[in-house]
Amino acid sequence: MTLDGLPHHGGGAEELARLLARALLAGRWQPGDAFPRELDLCAHFAVSRNQVRNALASLTATGLIERTAGRGTVVRAVVDWHLLDPLMSEWMVGLADPDPQLVREIFAFRYSAEPVVARLATEAAEAADLERLEAAFQGMTRTAGEPEARGLHAEYDVAFHDAIYLASHNLVWRQMGHLLRPSIIALIQSSQAHVHQEHESLDDSLARHGRVLEAIRRRDPAAAEHAAREVLRRTAIDLGIVDAPAESTH
């Protein structure tokens, strides 16, 4: 419950918030646990109480902690976290050891949502949206298989899926593009672990992405929905969420 082992930081309330948030996301405290007091944080990080209070305000706003006058600060349960807050997504990316349960939940959401969004995109996409999809797909193609461009490839991957959400032209759906980055970053970290069938997997994934693009361009709702689901099915395999390609396509 102490704050031993937390790294120091350069400066600024934002970075302090990020640091504490990542410790929380990594499971450093359990739900219901007492969080360090303001003055202890001030002392440990050598910052003013202002900075600490600002940082804690961010954690409160994202549902990570709950503060009450007189009682103190306690850590909230995972179900109370505001997973759709952009700040939260920012804090999740590059997390060394993300909670596999959380990764699975986010993926399950995407698996159910993205086919619908792809369908919407066939109806709402305009020229600019198609260009964005096209550019992202070509970026993916260009960087595929180059080991040193792994990060860049992931960025194009994020851009591709984000472009689908944007193409839906719905204010609510497009908010959820934030979830993509942590989800996809987790994917490449996971696939870095098991280096099995690297080439097959990538080619297959690329082809499936291409079919989504094509379906949206043809404005074929059923095909887009199906293709998006196929992309995510491939991703599920690579993430190790489903261990075998034993499932049929329908």
Contacts with DNA, residue ranges (CB under 7 A):
12-13, 35, 37-39, 47-51, 53-54, 56, 67-73
Nearer to a copy of itself, 62 or 191 (CB): 62
Which one of 57, 128, 207, 242 is in contact with a copy of itself (CB under 8 A)? 57
Q: How far is the CB of 25 from DNA (least distance, A)?
A: 20
d(CA 34, CA 80): 16
CB of 29 to DNA, least distance (A): 13
Helices (H), 173-246: 180-193, 198-218, 221-239
User: Does the protein bind a copy of itself through residue 49 (CB under 8 A)?
Assistant: no
Query: Between the CA of residue 49 and those of 43, 60, 70, 156, 206, what are the distances in Å?
Result: 9, 16, 17, 41, 50
Spacing of C-alpha 17 from chain mean position? 18
Q: Does 82 bind a copy of itself (CB under 8 A)?
A: yes
234, 208 contact by CB (below 8 A):
yes
**Which of residues 17, 75, 92, 102 is near a copy of itself by CB under 8 A?**
102
In sign, the C-alpha dihedral spanning 122, 123, 126, 132 is: negative
Residue 109 is a binding residue for a copy of itself (CB under 8 A): yes
Nearer to a copy of itself, 138 or 175 (CB): 175
Residue 168's Cβ-count burial label (10 Å; 0-12, 13-18, 19+) is: buried
Q: Least distance from C-beta 34 to DNA, angstroms?
A: 8
39's contact among a copy of itself, DNA, none, with CB below 5 to 8 A by partner kind, is DNA
SS3 66: strand
Q: What is the contact surface with a copy of itself in residues (CB under 8 A)? A: 54, 57-58, 61, 63, 78-79, 81-87, 102, 105-106, 108-109, 112-113, 116-117, 119-120, 170-176, 179
